[in-house]
Structure 1
């Protein structure tokens, strides 16, 4: 199985190099790994400070691991933090994040790369966030006696680890010194598979969104001017083109009474123009808006990144995109501000979304008619909306605390 694993990774790297001239993300992935190990060795040099290595697949996993990174920095200020990303969408956005001492791409998972990377970094602890279980890196940390943990992990019965032929992949999980899962169901799946270095700690994303909601609001003059008339606000976060057919009739119906903030998941000219052509005369791009005139539009379209978590504080309602495609995006950022949630049908792989649906704080919809019916009920029933707001806030705050639990149990790094 290891032979096929190595072949698959080699083919994956080859495919990205073939695609690089045509696909910007592939080009960034390839360029970011050119001369990477030499760059890591030069950057770290011969510094003798203790180091801990955190790995995040992409931006979402970074936000999930961020409270733990910050807590570790506070508890161990003399330790240098090394942060790696697999995806360009994580690395390019957070490569200058001041909370880590070193930020790199992760080299491709080969035995030679794993050994060279660990020789350069020499971490005393390794923390993987949620996903990505790389055989060679974990095998080498295990061989060297470096404890590796994964945090906020979640598992489902249909994953390869739990198939009769999944022994190789279960072996990867056994390389971890400990696995901190989001829920008991994940922990039980691992125990049933013979993996017992497991405990339930919860999801560190709750700590992230609670902390974000508690921060002083970021000064956003354009947004403040846009919502200054007090009209109800719908925040559309991480939208995809596939979300627009469900959203368009609702926005057209309530457009004269509602203000809408739209933050597409991918900021491309084609995606921006699709929103503009769907609502002719109603849209103003954020980069082109001025506080004095922005309120003349009904839809503020964000053609930048990094503001979405702040935008939810302006909303009374939230639509979260992605669930008409590959899967739902982050619902907790909106829930932390008490916004009733609407999203498409592909949500059941996300524990917090299923829990919010069960609490009747979130409304999964299959089409425009279902979205309009759910929204209209709350639009005409302010008391019900406020009850949902309270229930959302109770849920989010009640789930916080995973960071503290994990910090207290990290191998060799307990805190008082």
Structure 2
């Protein structure tokens, strides 16, 4: 753990620069929360979503929980301002906070303002100080839609003296697929279930169906480059140009970059 904390200390200038960029770009961004200065909050369930994709993915679960427990109070945390915007749009009934950066002092400061007994982490946002402090405060921690690629697994396995205690902290992992479950178990996770992806539970909005996009687009071929990373847009655009050259007037293209 000391090695992780030392690396985090070295990265402090980069993290502070990122906070500053968010503050300049998004007026509604609350940098104090990222430093652990949370207003006090009480919730029956705390759900952490890294950004927009996780917020959208967890929507069916929250809808079902509200139907079953109408009085539930939800706290939803995100790392990004775009994720916060999606929370406000999708779950106006929920409290939102920015997750504190994973310095021990900032996490501890934030959790002192929290009254909650259950943390649900969407996908695999396993921040060591967050997990340690949450368990120390008595929270149950479950990871849903948990995924772990072979590449990440090998990286964690290489530093097993650090990663194994980390993977033992959550009470359960609800894995995306059997291969993910096997990797979590190999890294020391206590309880692992294969439940599939909650993203497949997403329902198409009636508004989208009413807009009837296919009728508007006609028979044109449509493809999407979604959640692209730096350098990938150029590859997608070149592929689009090559395709367009063969199918003149028949191609529609959309590119959605990740935040």
Q: 2:117 matched to which residue of 1?
A: 124
- Determine the C-alpha separation between the residues in 1 that align with 2:13 and 2:26: 12
Normalised to the residue count of structure 1, the TM-score between the two structures is 0.53
Q: Which residue of 2 aligns with 1:247?
A: 240
Higher RCO structure, 1 or 2 (CA under 8 Å, sep 6+): 2
CA contact (8 A) 2:44 2:74 kept: yes
Paired residue for 1:74, among 53, 67, 72? 67
Q: Is the 8 A contact 1:56 1:86 kept in 2?
A: yes
Pairing partner for 1:161 from 156, 160, 165: 156
Gaps (5+ residues) in structure 2? none
1:212 matched to which residue of 2? 204
Q: Which of these residues, 158, 169, 173, is aligned with residue 175 of structure 1?
A: 169
Q: TM-score, normalised by structure 2?
A: 0.82
Deviations 1:183-231 (A, max 9, x none): 11222223233323111111101101xx127x3535549x67853xx43
Larger Cα Rg: Structure 1 or Structure 2?
A: 1
Question: Mind listing any 5+ residue stretches in structure 1 that lack a counterpart?
Answer: 267-328, 330-416
Instruction: Decide whether aligned partners of structure 1 residues 101 and 168 sit closer, same or farther in structure 2, where only a CA change above 3 A counts.
Output: same
- The question of 1:198 aligning with 2:189 is answered no
| 1:300 corresponding residue in structure 2 | none
Within 2, Cα distance between the matches of 1:252 and 1:107? 48
The partner residue of 1:41 within 18, 39, 42 is 39
Aligned length: 250
d(CA) in 1 for partners of 2:223, 2:149: 31
Q: Is 1:232 paired with 2:217?
A: no
Shift of residue 162 of structure 1? 2.0
What CA RMSD, in Å, does the superposition of the two structures yield over aligned residues? Answer: 3.0
Q: Which residue of 1 aligns with 2:256?
A: 265
Q: Tell me how far apart the structure 1 counterparts of residues 170 and 107 of structure 2 sit (CA, whole Å).
A: 16
Q: Using the alignment, how far apart are the partners of 1:27 and 1:75 within structure 2?
A: 40
Counterpart CA distance in 1 for 2:243 and 2:28 is 43
2: distance between equivalents of 1:3 and 1:26? 30
Conserved? CA contact 2:225–2:236, under 8 Å: no
Q: Would you say the 8 A contact 1:57–1:85 is kept in 2?
A: yes
2:94 corresponds to? 101
